[in-house]
Structure 1
Amino acid sequence: MTLFEHCILFVVSLLANTFSALSGGGAGLIQFPVLIFLGLSFAVALATHKVASVALGLGAILRYLRTSRLERQFVSLLLVAGLPGVVLGGNLILQVPDRLAEVALGVLTGSLGIYSFLTPDLGQDYQPKRRDVRGFAWGGGALFFLGVLNGSLTSGTGLFVTLWLVLWFGMDYQRAVAYTLILVGLFWNGAGAITLGILGDIRWDWLPALLFGSLIGGYLGSHLALRWGNRWIKRCFEIVTLLIGIRLITGPI
């Protein structure tokens, strides 16, 4: 690649991951289609995108660890329930590509944004609920399913995790985004990257620009999320979910 093309990758990664860190997911909305547009196959672009997305979690950690305290029970739940699903999804996507599933996911993702828009007070206050064994069991089952989606699809699964933490466990958007960026961005995407790297190929020479953009974007978006608060995060979440829904329904570039 030329220096100009590396600069394009950096700018794309920076923008995609800044918006992702601000809204709680969705970096693949911009980054993944661009990788395909620049000449990578679906499988190689997916694996390369997963590796680059790990830096999003690192950038978020650098910002959130100074101000946020993650609860051990939710850290354990997202790792124990989600990581096996990510590995399973990474194995499935390279064997069963399914356009119908993408359209269905697009409709569901767009519906998340519409639901959030029609529910003005959603995620604005921290209201803990379902913190018993049954609540964690059902919540973990849903996170396993979301892990499968994360391992097999490219856009929007972090947004599902964010909204699930808000709806099921009563978190506010700011708190839920912190869990999503750190645990999904770093650990889920890391597991997906390893799985896809073993089963497929990664374009290593494209990664420096993508990783640098992801790292800075993760930090910048997290900073803006903490500075602007739940109302702005909610609006960004709604915009990104609608855009991802449209992109999945209409198909990749």
Structure 2
Amino acid sequence: MDQLIEHGGLFALSFFANTLSAMAGGGAGLLQLPVLLFLGLSFNTALATHKIASVALGIGATIRHLREGKLDYKFCGFILLCGLPGVVIGADIIIDIPEGWTILSLGLLTAGLGIYSFRKKALGLTAEPRNRDRLGLIIGGGVLFVIGALNGSLTSGTGLFVTLWLVRWFGLDYKTAVTYVLILVGLFWNSTGAITVALQVDPRWEWLPALLIGATIGSYTGAHLAITQGNQLIKRAFETLTVLVGIKLTGDGIGILMVL
């Protein structure tokens, strides 16, 4: 009975976190990772468990978004080519480096993303393609590489970075940007990071089925809501979640630095 309650709680946590994440384009770790730590896992074990579970965010969202059939596959390849090397590098070094200042900086920047989007009332509500020339792609790809490294090394918020970058730099609307993020970051970037981390640290294997099922169903639900409700809801979800993720990461960073 205790195991049933435990796994039911993990399922509910994963469902809720990934529903929100699929609507906003990232941020599932805001809720999921802290709970895994609260349940007694070490940081590295919780990180490995969360990263493997987060792959299901991409699975559920991909199933829903592919039904729309609106992906530019060349652009998909560009995002993967730029981001995946960064993911591998970031995931390979995270186990061995101090994290306080990095998390604090990331938290402040993430909160800034939400505030920026909120102040730009029309940002991401309509598609205005730009920066598709060689220089624009080089700059855009370089930033995606850096975000990929953050995705591999840290736990939450980096999908939100990609969402806003696709909107701000490449001119996508929020709905389209979230589609790319959930499929490419949620499935491909996250699976690459999960494999790299899991090769170094064992996850909590017995918790993964509940987390994976909850994430798959939750991400499908969130993706469906995003598709049917449109850009305004996604923009508000993005702004809310970025500020919350930023506050959480800032608090984590300050807490780690105070202990040192």
CA shift digits 1:30-88 (9 cap, x unpaired): 00101111111111111111111111101011110111421122111111111110010
- Counterparts of 2:214 and 2:194 in 1: how far apart (Å)? 17
1:158 equivalenced with 2:159 (yes/no)? yes
- Counterpart of 1:123 in structure 2: which amino acid? G
1:94 paired residue number: 95
How far apart are 1:94 and its partner, in Å? 0.3
1:142 paired residue number: 143
2:197 paired residue number: 196
- Counterpart of 1:60 in structure 2: which amino acid? A
Q: Which shifted more, 155-164 or 196-205?
A: 196-205
Q: Which shifted more, 15-24 or 132-141?
A: 132-141
TM normalised by structure 2 equals: 0.95
CA shift digits 1:97-116 (9 cap, x unpaired): 22011111100000000001
CA shift digits 1:142-175 (9 cap, x unpaired): 0000000000100100000000000010000000
- Counterparts of 2:66 and 2:114 in 1: how far apart (Å)? 28
Map 1:30-49 → 2, pairs under 5 A: 30-49=31-50
Calculate the aligned-residue CA RMSD, in Å: 1.1
- Counterparts of 2:93 and 2:122 in 1: how far apart (Å)? 37
Map 1:212-231 → 2, pairs under 5 A: 212-231=213-232
Map 1:234-249 → 2, pairs under 5 A: 234-249=235-250
Map 1:1-253 → 2, pairs under 5 A: 2-251=3-252
- Counterpart of 1:80 in structure 2: which amino acid? L
- Counterparts of 1:55 and 1:98 in 2: how far apart (Å)? 26
- Counterpart of 1:12 in structure 2: which amino acid? L
How far apart are 1:131 and its partner, in Å? 1.0
SS in 2 for 1:124: coil
CA shift digits 1:110-148 (9 cap, x unpaired): 000000110000000011111112111111100000000
How far apart are 1:249 and its partner, in Å? 1.0
- Counterparts of 2:81 and 2:136 in 1: how far apart (Å)? 15
- Counterparts of 1:68 and 1:175 in 2: how far apart (Å)? 11
User: For structure 1, which runs of at least 5 residues remain unmatched after alignment?
Assistant: none
User: For structure 2, which runs of at least 5 residues remain unmatched after alignment?
Assistant: 256-260
- Counterparts of 2:35 and 2:87 in 1: how far apart (Å)? 23
2:258 paired residue number: none
Q: Which shifted more, 96-105 or 12-21?
A: 96-105
- Counterpart of 1:170 in structure 2: which amino acid? G
- Counterparts of 1:42 and 1:23 in 2: how far apart (Å)? 25
- Counterparts of 2:108 and 2:170 in 1: how far apart (Å)? 24
How far apart are 1:92 and its partner, in Å? 1.4
TM normalised by structure 1 equals: 0.98
Count of paired positions: 253
